[in-house]
Amino acid sequence: MLLTVQQRILLALLKYGSLQNSYIAKRVGITEQHCSNMINQLSKEGLIESEFKPPRRINRLTDKGAEIALGLEEVSEKLSKV
């Protein structure tokens, strides 16, 4: 299943819990700048919430984001069995 960068970010947060942008970027395979842009977009959509804990920003899924990520995970697992 081909996933968008935003979908891969949601799945990374589902799998690993709260993460800094740098860790998300490494797990998803994108630059930190691109990750920051995607995190901002996902935050505007209400799927991720960020908290600044100096000197880092920590990101986690909202309930809505977790619901979507769980759905993506479920579909991905079903497709991998086909």
pLDDT of residue 41: 97
Number of domains in the chain: 1
| CATH number for 28 | 1.10.10.10
* Domain presence at residue 82: no
Omega prior to 54 cis, within 30 of 0 = no
pLDDT band at 1 (very low <50, low <70, confident <90, very high): low
pTM more than 0.85 = yes
Q: Per residue in 37-72, pLDDT tens?
A: 999 999 999 999 999 888 889 999 999 999 999 999
50-78 burial, b if ≥16 CB within 10 A, otherwise e?
beeeeeeeebebeeebeebbeebeeeeee
| CA 62 centroid distance within chain | 11
Which residue range forms the structural domain that includes residue 9?
Answer: 5-76
User: What whole-number distance in Å separates Cα of residue 11 and Cα of residue 31?
Assistant: 17
* Domain presence at residue 52: yes
